[in-house]
Amino acid sequence: MAVEKSQAVVLRSVPFGETSAVVTLYCRDLGKVRALAKGAWRPKSGFDGGLDLLSTSQVLVLRRSAGGLDLLTEACLEHRFRVAASLPAVAGGMHVAELLDGLTADADPQPELFDAAHSTLRRLSGSCAPDAAVAAVVVAAELAILRLTGHAPALARCAACGAPPSAGRVAFGLLDGGALCSRCRAGRRSVISVSQPALVALRGLADACPPATDSRLEPAVGGEVRAVMDAYLAHLFERPLVTSPWLPHRAPSRRRRAGS
C-alpha cells in the first residue's frame, strides 16, 4: 500500500459507525476515490473541516492494492464551499458533484475535468448572483463535464451525418447525441425540438467553463436550455438527476416530444 497526496473535491460523505465516514472524493491526480476516514467526526481529528461537502482539500490517501475502500489519513481544508443567498448556486454545486460521481470511473485521473469542476464550485461558493448568471455557470459546467467524459452533445453539426442543422427549430436526438438535420430527423425516436436561440446559447457555453462574469441565461431562453439539458442527462443516466428540480430556470415537466 502506498500513500498518495492530491488536491480533492468532496463529492459525498456518509457516516460509518459512530465517528468515521465513507467519503467519495474527486482528486486531481488520483481520479475518483472512495475511502474510509476513520475518526472523521471526532472533535480532534486529522480532518478538521476538510471533509465538508463540495469543499476542496489536500488529502493523503492510503491506496489499497486490490478491492475495498482506500484509507483517508488526512484532509487539510483549502476552500470551504459556502452557502449564501442563492439556493440555485448551492443546487448547482451539488449538481456538479452528482455529474462527477455518475460519469467517472474510480482511479481514472483527469486533471482538466478536476479543474473545470473546481473552478465552477469556486464561482458558485458564496454566490449571491442572480439566477440568470448562476444558470449560465451551471450549463457551462455541464457541457464541459460532458465533453471531458466523452458525452458531449453535437450542437454545431448533425449528430448523424455531420451536416449543418437546418434553420429554425432544430431536432435534438437523445439517442443520437445531439442536433439532427431535417434529412436525418425522419424516423428517429426520442427527439425534442430546440429553438435557434436556445441552440445558440448552448453553443456559446459549450467551451466556456466557467463563463465570463457577465454571461446570463435569461428565463425566456434559459428555461428551454434547462429542459434540453435535463432530458439529455436523464437519458445518459437512465433516470432524472436528483439535483435537477432545484436548478435555475428549470422548465415545466411537459417538455419532451417522442418522435414517430
- Between β-strands 70-79 and 31-37, what pairing exists: parallel, antiparallel or unpaired? parallel
Q: Is 255 helix (H, G, I), strand (E, B) or coil?
A: coil
Asked if the structure places residue 64 within a domain, the reply is yes
Please say which residue of 58, 79, 100 terminates a domain. Answer: 79
The mean of the pLDDT values for the chain is: 92
Q: Is residue 251 in some structural domain? A: no
Whether the Cβ atoms of residue 213 and residue 128 lie closer than 8 Å to each other = no
Q: For residue 61, which of 108, 3, 101, 100 has the smallest C-alpha distance?
A: 3
Domain with 127, as residue range(s), is: 87-246
Residue 212 confidence class, pLDDT cut points 50, 70, 90: confident
pLDDT of residue 153: 98
In this structure, the answer to whether residues 34 and 103 fall within a common structural domain is no
Say which CATH number the domain at 62 has.
2.40.50.140
Residue 158 counted as domain residue: yes
Supply the pTM of this predicted model.
Answer: 0.92
pLDDT tens for 109-148 read 999 999 999 999 999 999 999 999 999 999 999 999 999 9
Same domain, 124 and 54: no
Is residue 95 in a domain?
yes
